[in-house]
Amino acid sequence: MSVALQCPRSSPSISELPLEERRGSYAMWCVIATESALFASFFAAYFYLGNNKARWQVDHPPKLLIALVLLAILVSSSFVLEWGKRRVVERRYAAARFLLAVTIFMGLVFLVLQAYEYIDHWKTLTPFSDSYGSIFYAITSFHAAHVIVGLLMLAYVLVLPRYAPARETPFRPYETVALYWHFVDVVWILVVLVLYVIPNMIAHG
Amino acid sequence: MSDVASIESRLTELWETPKTLRGWFATVDHKELGIRYLVTAFAFLLVGGLEALLMRIQLSRPDQAFLSPEVYDQVFTMHGVTMIFWYASPILTGFAVYLVPLMIGARDMAYPRLNAFTYWSFLISGIFLYVAPLIGQAPHAGWFAYFPYTGTRYSPSRGMDFYALSLIFLTISTTGAAINSIVTILRLRAPGMAISKMPLFLYSTLTISFLILFALPALTAACVFLELDRQWGTHFFKIANGGDPMLWQQLFWFFGHPWVYVIFLPATGMVSLIVPVFSRRPIVGYPYIAIATILTGLVGFSVWLHHMFTVGMSDMAMSFFSAGSMTISIFTAVQVFAWIATIWMGRPVLTSAMYFAVGSIALLVVGGLSGVFTGIIPVDWQVHNTYYIVAHIHYVLIGANVFPVFAGFYYWLPKMTGRKLDEALGKCSFWIMFIGFNVGFFPMHILGLIGMPRRIYTYQSGLGLENMNVIVTVGAFVLGIGILISILNLLWSLRNGPLAGKNPWNSDGLEWETESPPKPYATVHIPTVISRHPLWDDYEEESDPANDRILDEQRLTLVTSWLDAEPTSIATIPKDTLVPLILAIVLFFFFFALVFQWLMGALLSFLITVLLTYYWLWPKPAEATQ
Ligand code: HEM
């Protein structure tokens, strides 16, 4: 008798169900999870290599200023992108596209500025000088590679022909890519914290 | 009735891959890809097995010169790497890719094209690995490749570059497959298959997919560092400039131990499905097994240092990791006792599949026990790097992976091919494998205890090692013959086996609701489920008076909520495409260029990859219009 009660109650409504459109973001969440583990490994390596070292960039912590400027650029670009996402929901596609372009521009500025920072660093530190140099450049350039991939994704969404065909599916790419961009952003916050702020704090007491 | 026939033909037309050359390369059908996964991984088992036999010939008598020391190093490395990375895990992925959608009543995986891509990149990364011995520069540092031996100083050839880059390549494939499994299992289950009613195999596959997401990146990081050190002059592992070779070990084992569960848990999941079917009763302690599976995965992250007890660490750390290792054995014991109780309380039917399942339980107990020993630190110090460890890993790997895989073959091949295997040959194959295995590997415990080190290419006579080494070699060959018999059995059954019918074993799982072999669309109506044993209850899974769950407008399948499996939406399934294959080939060139430090080539392949990915993701007109 309980069998009838347990029967799935769904049958009448199935033909009215909407099309599934979240698979992109599920996959993106998984990618973010595994990429977080990747960066965690890199940070773990940073601490592991720094353990027992007399000199771990405490006497020469990397300069803070540019990193903070970079941080400001990246974080605000995330907000711009989020703003654009809202416009898509409101179906104001031109505005959305414009804000997306602004985000890409900010990402490019980030890369240029980071290149400038690298040139500055290179005078005193290279990946070949010691293990600190290796891990420092590994983490930052790996992050830069993620920025580049993020930009490629944003560019893809930028050139997508339309945002709302049947049932508006392509709203989702915007959302999915935004997830990734925020992730790249958060990683940079951690990079700044671990590689720049903490050593500077230790150095200056 | 003609109505049903027309529905069926419409569904077939929608789902079937054309039998053309393009169709063969372009298919995204999970059944097709699952079988390819199984065949490819099994081929790697045979290759690795041949390498093992070469080693055993060399070691059968003292002071032999069948393999030179250099070649021996390469052979055991290729053996370990092939078995661990290209056989043991992919074969389980193969089962998952084939079975998961059928078990949950979905028509394909959540990302069918990704599925094709992960298959092709698995195959092609394996080919990539085997390019190394073909050009005479095979890796030679064992499957866990400790630095400094892997540095350019001691490994000047490109072998270790092939090792590192092929692993990174495989990582992409494995991660993709894990993502695919996670989303498929969580979102595509048939209505009513709440998470508490999933077959246990899904629990283990889900657990290991999460393990893969969180553990594999450590390997990627380690391999990236290794490549940078070897080819681009950095100092991650080189002591002289502040690097630390222990960093490799830490990263590798942080990945490596969870990996042991990746190749172990799904196999136990298969045993948990097979044992109850042939005990003719539901499994004992379903929730305990499910929880033990998940806990094994979690705790699996906190025991990696037990591979490094001999390296030296604080007593605190040692005790912690020793205790962790002990804890894990509790969870494994829960599963073992549940199986034994199931057999005990049921009415066992001794088919070949059951033989292999029970055999695996027995071997697992031996392997687990020798594992408990090595978890005890003083014992570990004694047996580290001896044949005792070789015995232990093979009891665990063969007991907990190869035997369940064979059980799985005897159980599910009738579903895949439509024909049953020969039972007598199957049992014969089992006994030969079982005896061969124990004759071949049990003496290794003793060899190890009396001091034979692993990874040596020969030993002197007069050390008291001769007799047992002969026995070991004979056992290895007997094991090989046993495997061969099963292969012949399969080939024979493809033509002559008795027809299996829908449900030859009277099983409970949804996969047995389909024809054997299943139609491209699996079932006409997406099934609904009300119990853990859909085919054992009285409820008609496919009953669908309103014809609501046929979904034949295009390739569609049902999406449900992840806990209760209430229908939430309908997912489109993409058409066949060649892009995944091309992408995997381009990646081959990418990694090839990296091995030879050809940056332009790498950059070019990267750009092609980006363009291909754009093309892949570009919304297709047909998909956009509903
Ligand atoms: C077909 C039967 C097999 C035989 C006869 C065999 C034999 C051997 C032997 C003799 C060694 C020791 C080499 C040495 O230390 O000098 C070895 C190592 C190893 N085997 Fe097997 N094996 C077999 C199957 C497997 C399977 C199925 C797996 C995994 C799923 C596996 C995984 C390994 C690993 C990981 C090592 C360690 C390699 C290293 O030291 O780096 N073997 N095997």
pLDDT in tens, B311-360: 767 777 777 777 777 788 889 889 999 999 999 999 999 999 999 999 99
Does residue A3 have a pLDDT over 50?
A: no
- Say if A12 falls within a structural domain: no
The most confident of A53-62, A80-89, A148-157, by mean pLDDT = A148-157
Element containing residue B559 per DSSP (H, E): strand B556-560
Q: Shortest CA distance to A69 belongs to which of A12, A2, A8, A120?
A: A120
Position A58 in a domain: no
Interface check for B569 against chain A (CB to CB < 8 A): the answer is yes
Q: Which of B235, B546, B570 sits opposite A17 (nearest CB)?
A: B570
| This model's pTM is above 0.80 | yes
* Distance from Cα B358 to the centre of ligand 1, integer Å: 23
Distance CA B37, CA B344 (A): 35
Mutate to test the pocket of ligand 1, among B85, B163, B385, B390 (most ligand atoms within 8 A of CB): B390
Closest-CA residue in chain A for B560?
A: A20
* Residue A15's pLDDT band (cuts 50, 70, 90): confident
Q: How far is CA B47 from CA B83, B430, B434, in A?
A: 9, 21, 20
Hunting for tokens 């991660």 — which residue is that? Answer: B175
pLDDT at A142 over 60: yes
Q: How far is CA B64 from CA A144, A157, B73, in A?
A: 54, 64, 15
The answer to whether B357 touches B278, Cβ cutoff 8 Å, is yes
Hey, of A14, A53, A158, A169, which one would you mutate to test binding to chain B, going by the most B CBs within 10 A of its CB?
A: A14
CB contact under 8 A, B243 and A133: no
Provide mean pLDDT across the span B540-566.
Answer: 86
Report the length, in residues, of chain A: 205
Maximum distance among all Cα pairs of chain B, rounded to whole angstroms: 80
What pLDDT is attached to residue A164?
Answer: 45
Reduced to 3 states (helix: H, G, I; strand: E, B; else coil), residue B558 is strand
Closest B-chain CA to A56: B242
Chain A environment of B115 (Cβ under 8 Å): none
pLDDT grade for B85, boundaries at 50, 70 and 90: very high
pLDDT at A168 over 80: no
Range(s) of the domain holding residue A80: 22-46+63-197
CB contact under 8 A, B548 and A15: yes
Q: Do A127 and B617 touch (CB under 8 A)?
A: no
What pLDDT shows up at residue B2?
Answer: 55
Tokens at B240, concatenated: 């002289």
Checking if the pLDDT of A11 tops 80, the result is: no
Nearest to B351 by CA among B283, B288, B279: B279
**Token digits of residue A145:** 């590679």
Residue B394 burial (C-beta neighbours within 10 Å; 0-12, 13-18, 19+): buried
Tell me which amino acid residue B54 is. Answer: L
B624 band by pLDDT with thresholds 50, 70 and 90: very low
pLDDT of residue B101: 96
Average pLDDT for B20-49: 95
Predicted local distance difference test score (pLDDT) of residue B268? 93
Distance CA A81, CA A183 (A): 13
Contacts of B490 (CB under 8 A, 6+ apart): B409, B413, B421
- Residue B265 CA to its chain's centroid (Å): 10
Give the integer Cα–Cα distance in Å for B626 and B624: 6
CB-based pocket (< 6 A), ligand 1: B 49, 52, 55-56, 76-77, 79-80, 83-84, 87-88, 142-143, 390, 393-394, 397-398, 401-402, 454-455, 476, 479
**What pLDDT sits at residue A172?**
80
Helix (H) or strand (E) segment spanning residue A96: helix A93-122
Question: Per-residue confidence at A57, pLDDT binned at 50, 70, 90?
Answer: low
Count of structural domains within chain A: 1
DSSP code at position A148: H
User: Residues B413, B490: contact at Cβ < 8 Å?
Assistant: yes
DSSP B387: H
pLDDT of amino acid A5? 45
Dihedral (CA of A137, A130, A43, B327) sign: positive
Could you say which DSSP state residue B452 is in?
P
CB contact (8 A) between residue A156 and residue B571: no
Categorize the per-residue pLDDT at B626 as very low, low, confident or very high, splitting at 50, 70 and 90: very low
CA angle B340, B345, B348 (to 5 degrees): 80
pLDDT score of A56: 62
Q: What are phi and psi of A19, to 5 degrees?
A: -75, 140
pLDDT for residue B233 is more than 80: yes
In a domain, A56, yes or no: no
End-to-end CA distance of chain B: give it in Å, rounded: 28
Q: Residue B478 pLDDT > 90, yes or no? A: yes
If you measure from the C-alpha of residue B35 to the centroid of ligand 1, how many angstroms do you get, rounded to a whole number?
A: 25
Give residue-wise pLDDT tens across range B288-311: 999 999 999 998 887 777 677 667
Q: pLDDT for B86-136, tens place per residue?
A: 999 999 999 999 999 999 999 999 999 999 999 999 999 999 999 999 998
End-to-end CA distance of chain A: 74
pLDDT of residue B185: 96
CATH of the domain at A171: 1.20.120.80
Would an 8 Å CB–CB cutoff place A133 in contact with chain B? yes
Q: Do B250 and A48 make contact, defined as CB atoms within 8 angstroms? A: yes
pLDDT of residue B443: 94
Average pLDDT over residues B6-10: 88
CB-based contact B169:B120 (threshold 8 Å): no
Query: Residue B479 is encoded by which pair of tokens?
Result: 């094991």
Report how far residue B490's alpha carbon sits from residue B422's, in angstroms, rounded to the nearest whole number. 8
- B313 CA to chain A: closest CA distance, Å? 14
Structure tokens of B308? 């490094």
Q: Classify residue B43 by burial, with Cβ atoms within 10 Å: 0-12, 13-18, 19+.
A: middle
Q: Which atom of ligand 1 is nearest to the CA of B77?
A: 41
Per-residue pLDDT tens digits for B104-118: 999 999 999 999 999
Element (H, E) at B572: strand B567-572
What's the whole-number mean pLDDT along residues B536-550?
A: 84
Is residue B497 within 8 A of residue B463, CB to CB? The reply is no
Distance CA(B478)–CA(B472), nearest Å, equals 10
Q: What pLDDT is recorded for position B30?
A: 96
pLDDT of residue B295: 93
Determine, yes or no, domain membership for A2.
no
Residue A68 sits at the chain B interface (C-beta within 8 Å)? no
The mean pLDDT value for A133-159 works out to 93
B positions 113-172 inside 8 Å of A (CB): 114
How close is the Cα of B353 to the center of ligand 1, in Å?
24
Interchain proximity A37–B215, CB inside 8 Å = yes
pLDDT at residue B281 is higher than 90? yes
Tokens of residue B101, six digits: 């959608």
Q: What length is written for chain B?
A: 626
* Helix or strand (DSSP H, E) at B102: helix B89-103
Burial of B402 (0-12, 13-18, 19+ CB in 10 A): buried
Quote the minimal CA–CA distance from B243 to chain A in Å.
Answer: 5
Q: What type of residue sits at position B56?
A: R
Question: Does residue B127 contact residue B590 with C-beta atoms inside 8 Å?
Answer: no
ipTM: 0.92
Percent of chain B with pLDDT strictly greater than 90: 71
**Is residue B282 less than 8 Å (CB to CB) from chain A?**
no
Domains, chain B, ordered by start: 1-199+207-255+501-537+547-572 (1.20.210.10), 264-498 (1.20.210.10)
Q: What is the pLDDT of residues B414-425, one digit of tens each?
A: 999 999 999 999
Cβ–Cβ under 8 Å, residues B502 and B513: yes
* A11 → chain B, closest CA residue: B548
Give me the mean pLDDT over the B137-142 stretch: 92
A8 vs B contacts (CB less than 8 Å):
191-192, 528-530, 565-567
Residue of A nearest to B114 (CA): A27
List the one residue out of B488, B498, B473 whose CA is nearest residue B56. Answer: B473
Q: Is B34 helix (H, G, I), strand (E, B) or coil?
A: helix
In a domain, A5, yes or no: no
Q: What was the pLDDT predicted at A55?
A: 56
What pLDDT is attached to residue B262?
93
A112 burial (CB, 10 Å; 0-12 / 13-18 / 19+) is exposed
The 10s digit of each residue's pLDDT in B490-510 is 999 999 999 998 999 999 999
Contact B406, B363 (CB under 8 A): no
- Ligand 1 centroid vs B437 CA: distance in angstroms? 12
Nearest CA to ligand 1 atom 24: B49
**Three-state DSSP class for residue B570:** strand
